[in-house]
Structure 1
Amino acid sequence: MISKLDLYKVFCKVGKSESFSKAAKELYMTQPAVSQAIMQLERELDIRLFNRTPKGVSLTNEGTLLFEYANSALNLIHVGEEKILEFKNLTTGELNIGVGDTISRYFLLPYLEAFHNKYPNIKFKIVNGTTLELCSILKSGRVDIAICNFPIDDSTLELIPCNEVHDIFVCGEKYKELLSTSTNLEELVNHPLILLEPKSVSRNYVENYLLSKGIQVSPEFELGSHDLLLEFAKINLGVACVTKEFSLEYLDKGILFEIQLEEEIPKRNIGVCFLKSVSLSPAATKFVEIIENKQRK
């Protein structure tokens, strides 16, 4: 049984060509099949759509009215199909990414540049937040992917670890006596500590590691920004726990100094996460592929 949509496609083609035979040729159908389709549509609508003449066919008044609507509808469907094709080919669309400010600056930017150079017509929407906030935003559907601090314990998310990062303690000139020898953690926490706020995954990771060693911390300052950690340490307000890879500018210029620990904090990762239950959009899929390909090099 021919579908209703196909019936209207045949109807519009006959209406335009005013000929069953011409319509059949354009549709790659037999003329009897075209005639049968028109008769079926007329039966279903209980109305005559064409006047049959020896020279061909012409639309009846009712057929003319229907043709205006049906032809417009088919044109809209065609436009929609073209838009879907553009979407699949990444010639249009939007990519929504959740990311924290620090990871955006020190990790994300090169991948955004590479993706934009390859697919310049895709628009970006960047949503900022902490890792826990971004996981919630991801589940709400506001972003396609999130780039976060790991570890994340959430069975609903697909996790792709990327860069390894190291949590270290740094200090300014005032605390340079800590640099003379390796420092144990018990001694270190007796100094004023500058840490990220408790809801931060990075803070929780370091704090849980210290607790596993029987060490509790009571920081002097709890901040919401990695850059603030560096600035507070720079003016000698205490010893800051920072991500080494995001602090190289301060360390390389001698603005801050890494405190050598007797036992280093184990490495962790930053990476990409997305919902297991939802297929990634073409743009998000390509973006993740770019990250993974660069990681392999």
Structure 2
Amino acid sequence: MVSKLDLYKVFCQVGRSESFSKAAKDLYMTQPAVSQAIRQLEKELDTRLFVRTPKGVSFTDEGSLLFEYANSALNLLHTGEEKILAFKNLTAGELKIGVGDTISRYFLLPYLEAFHNRYSNIKFTIVNGTTVELCSILKSGGVDIAICNLPIDDHTLERRPCFDIQDTFVYGSKFKKILAKPLSLDELVKLPLIFLESKSNSRRYVEDYIRSKGIKLEPEFELGSHDLVLEFAKINLGIACVTREFAQDYISTGLLSEVQLIEEIPKRSVGVCFLKSVQLSPAATRFVEILENERL
């Protein structure tokens, strides 16, 4: 059975060609098949669409009106198909990424650059937030993927670790004598501590580990950004809990020193998350592949 869409394609081609035989040739159909399609459409609409002329066929008034709409609709469908093909070939489209400021600065930027160099027509939208906020945005459809601090306990999300990170404590010059030897966690928590705010996934991970040892944690300062935590430590306001990989500029230049812990906090990961129930776009799929397979 010929679909209504196919009938309109035949109708429009006949209208453009002003000939059944030319339309048949353009559509790789027989002339009787074209004639049959037009008769079927006229029957369904209960309207005559063409009149025969010495040179071929021409529209009736009703046919001319229908052509205006049908031709526009088919053009829009064709444009839509081209857009889909462009998305599949990564020559057009948008990639919406959720990421925290610190991960964006110290991890994500080289991957954004590499992706953009290969697929320059893909538009980026970057949404910032904490891990908890980004998971909520991801589940509401606000971003395609989120780069988050793991672990995350959410069965609706696919979570793929990208690289390991180490939580550590750093201090400024004022504390060098006090921290000259290795410390236990019991000894550490008696010092003025600087942590990220409690809603941070990084803060919760370290806090949960310390509490699992039966140790109560009461930070002196709770701040909203990793960079601010580092700056507070640099001016000797306390001992800061930071991510070693994201604090290397301060540690390697001697602005801050690491606390030697008798028992190091277990490593965790930064990873990419996306909804299990929603298929990733071609752009998001390729970006995840770059994150997982390339070390930049």
How far 1:233 moved relative to its partner?
Answer: 0.5
Deviates more, 1:109-118 or 1:53-62: 53-62
Report the Cα distance in structure 1 between the residues aligned to 2:73 and 2:170, rounded to whole angstroms: 66
How far 1:20 moved relative to its partner?
Answer: 1.2
Report the Cα distance in structure 2 between the residues aligned to 1:22 and 1:228, rounded to whole angstroms: 73
How far 1:278 moved relative to its partner?
Answer: 0.8
Residue 152 of structure 1 corresponds to 152
Report the Cα distance in structure 1 between the residues aligned to 2:72 and 2:127, rounded to whole angstroms: 39
How far 1:55 moved relative to its partner?
Answer: 4.1
1:76 aligned onto 2:76: yes
CA contact (8 A) 1:178 1:259 kept: no
Identity, % of aligned positions: 75
Residue 268 of structure 1 corresponds to 268
User: What letter is aligned with 1:264?
Assistant: E
Deviates more, 1:250-259 or 1:209-218: 209-218
Count of residue pairs the alignment pairs up? 296
Residue 124 of structure 2 corresponds to 124
Report the Cα distance in structure 2 between the residues aligned to 1:69 and 1:199, rounded to whole angstroms: 55
Map of 1:180-199 to 2, 5 A cutoff?
Answer: 180-199=180-199
1:163 aligned onto 2:163: yes
How far 1:53 moved relative to its partner?
Answer: 4.2
Residue 291 of structure 1 corresponds to 291
Residue 257 of structure 1 corresponds to 257
How far 1:71 moved relative to its partner?
Answer: 1.3
1:88 aligned onto 2:52: no
Residue 56 of structure 1 corresponds to 56
Report the Cα distance in structure 2 between the residues aligned to 1:290 and 1:111, rounded to whole angstroms: 7
For residues 208-253 of structure 1, the C-alpha deviation after alignment (integer angstroms, 9 at most, x for no partner) is 1111111111110011110011000001011011000000000000
Report the Cα distance in structure 2 between the residues aligned to 1:20 and 1:178, rounded to whole angstroms: 95
Report the Cα distance in structure 2 between the residues aligned to 1:192 and 1:168, rounded to whole angstroms: 15
For residues 102-138 of structure 1, the C-alpha deviation after alignment (integer angstroms, 9 at most, x for no partner) is 0000011001000100111111111111000100111
Report the Cα distance in structure 2 between the residues aligned to 1:128 and 1:173, rounded to whole angstroms: 33
Report the Cα distance in structure 2 between the residues aligned to 1:217 and 1:56, rounded to whole angstroms: 89
Q: Secondary structure at the match of 1:161?
A: strand
1:67 aligned onto 2:70: no
Residue 9 of structure 1 corresponds to 9
User: What letter is aligned with 1:136?
Assistant: S
Q: Secondary structure at the match of 1:47?
A: coil
Residue 27 of structure 2 corresponds to 27
How far 1:180 moved relative to its partner?
Answer: 2.2
For residues 49-71 of structure 1, the C-alpha deviation after alignment (integer angstroms, 9 at most, x for no partner) is 11124542222222122112211
How far 1:178 moved relative to its partner?
Answer: 3.8
Which structure 2 residue ranges, 5 or more long, are not aligned?
none
Which structure 1 residue ranges, 5 or more long, are not aligned?
none
CA contact (8 A) 1:131 1:200 kept: yes
Deviates more, 1:65-74 or 1:47-56: 47-56
Report the Cα distance in structure 2 between the residues aligned to 1:179 and 1:187, rounded to whole angstroms: 10
Residue 136 of structure 1 corresponds to 136
RMSD, aligned CA: 1.2
Residue 102 of structure 1 corresponds to 102
Report the Cα distance in structure 2 between the residues aligned to 1:277 and 1:72, rounded to whole angstroms: 35
User: What letter is aligned with 1:83?
Assistant: K
Normalised by the length of structure 2, the TM-score is 0.97
How far 1:21 moved relative to its partner?
Answer: 1.4
Report the Cα distance in structure 2 between the residues aligned to 1:220 and 1:26, rounded to whole angstroms: 79
How far 1:19 moved relative to its partner?
Answer: 1.5
